[in-house]
Amino acid sequence: MSEPRALVIGAGLAGCEAAWQLLRRGIPVTLRDMKPGKKSPAHVSDGFAELVCSNSLRSDRLQNAAGLLKEEMRRLDSLIMRAADRARVPAGGALAVDRELFSGYITEELLGHPGLRFEEGEATELPGANAVIATGPLTSDALSGAIAALPGMKDLHFYDAAAPIVLKDSIDMDKAFLASRYGRGEDDYINCPMDEETYRAFYRALIAAETAPVHGFEESKVFEGCMPVESMARRGEMALAFGPLKPVGLVDPRTGKRPFAVLQLRRDDASDSLYNLVGFQTRLKFPEQKRVFGMIPGLEHAEFARYGVMHRNTFLNAPELLGPDFMVKGSEGLYFAGQITGVEGYIESAASGLCAGVQLALRLRGKAPAAFPGSTAIGSLCRYVSTFNRNYQPMHVSFGLIDPIQEKVRRKEERCLRVSELALAGIEALKPQLA
């Protein structure tokens, strides 16, 4: 009898992690992606696991649910986490990576694995069984059509925006300063301070600036967690000063004072030449980005390595379609993983790939699905995608999704740490079942 082979469609974060979890359990994998021959409007590189916008995988602290999720994945030998830890660039309490090194490591590990076969080509139909579909928020139109025809499916499209990246040596460091908020980490961020007058002038220019037309775009269809900076500004003159431009935890060394507002730029590559404008995802027209963002002290002559863009975000009505193991209910081993399931963000997408890969491997080994407990970050995502929800929306991991602890702990940080301790114990206890 020939060995069962799994099919993984999509070599993004979720698909790579799913393939890896199958391979490390001895299941041979065919990994298929339409890249490099055909690319979505946001993908530019030929490698696997491309980070299409920010290079940040968010917090790396256990007091934060994104930090907990990453630690759970490390404990389960995640390929994405191995790559991230190797490609890390300084970013305060966050885990940010050099995207080329990150993608390069994953591509080499997978292509070098004797159990993996890579096939280039667009999938246009749904596979029948023993497959993971991880084609992301920009799933090609033909496959989107096939997915939309699944029973109980509503074809949902939302819109997200991506932030621009500028060249470091084009930032005026006579005006900007290096620091991390609250002094966490080294001086990892470039900070552009604004006084009140500059802030208000910038605000007026921003809300009046011309945006690029996006077919089918409506303001109400923007995902809250990825709101374009100009849309957020329209909520009120101080919205940015309390949002992405908040100055708390930062002191301008030239004045010895906290500025009125601060734009932070985070390092985007290991060679320290690219910086992204944190929280400045936008759909302004490119010349408007140069003009309006150039009003920020330090960015007057900034050269843009990449402008911000608006993009479609396709996701399933997962609670109708999927079980907590990410398998299509009633199917013969057809799984979805990644952002297309309605988990939101790089690390959540990779975590769902981990889960789908593990579950398909268990199935192919004739074992029952494993139940990730709701006290873990991974388990909380499994529960989120599979629990009835009238208004199902893309969702980041958060302590709000994870089971609360019974004991009373007054301080929030300590409470979060306690939740993390229990979650990691839950993962350790589950490991023998996942082997």
Ligand X SMILES: Cc1cc2nc3c(=O)[nH]c(=O)nc-3n(C[C@H](O)[C@H](O)[C@H](O)COP(=O)(O)OP(=O)(O)OC[C@H]3O[C@@H](n4cnc5c(N)ncnc54)[C@H](O)[C@@H]3O)c2cc1C
311 binds ligand X (CB under 6 A): yes
Q: What is the CA radius of gyration of the chain?
A: 22
Q: How far is the CB of 288 from ligand X (least distance, A)?
A: 18
Q: Which is nearer to ligand X, 27 or 134 (CB)?
A: 134
CA distances, 140 to each of 168, 212, 410 (Å) = 34, 22, 48
| Binder among 6, 22, 123, 364 for ligand X (CB under 6 A) | 123
32 binds ligand X (CB under 6 A): yes
Chain center to CA of 60: 14
Count, residues near ligand X per rule CB under 6 A: 37
* Binding to ligand X, residues 45-84 (CB under 6 A): 52-54
277 binds ligand X (CB under 6 A): no
| Binder among 78, 107, 191, 339 for ligand X (CB under 6 A) | 339
CA gap 220, 295 in Å, rounded: 28
Q: Which is nearer to ligand X, 62 or 350 (CB)?
A: 350
Type of residue at 188: D
CA-based max dimension of the chain: 75
Q: Which is nearer to ligand X, 10 or 298 (CB)?
A: 10
| Binder among 323, 342, 345, 373 for ligand X (CB under 6 A) | 345
9 binds ligand X (CB under 6 A): yes
Rounded (5°) CA angle 32-37-43: 85
Judged by DSSP in three states, 58 sits in strand
Strands 304-306, 165-167: pairing is antiparallel
Looking up tokens 């957020």, which residue turns up? 232
265 binds ligand X (CB under 6 A): no
Residues in the chain: 435
Q: Which is nearer to ligand X, 34 or 318 (CB)?
A: 34
13 binds ligand X (CB under 6 A): yes
Q: Which is nearer to ligand X, 120 or 428 (CB)?
A: 120
Q: Are 160 and 310 in contact (CB under 8 A)?
A: yes
Judged by DSSP in three states, 199 sits in helix
- Which residues would be at the binding site for ligand X (CB under 6 A)? 9-15, 32-35, 40, 42-43, 52-54, 122-123, 134-140, 143, 160, 162, 309, 311, 338-340, 345-346, 349
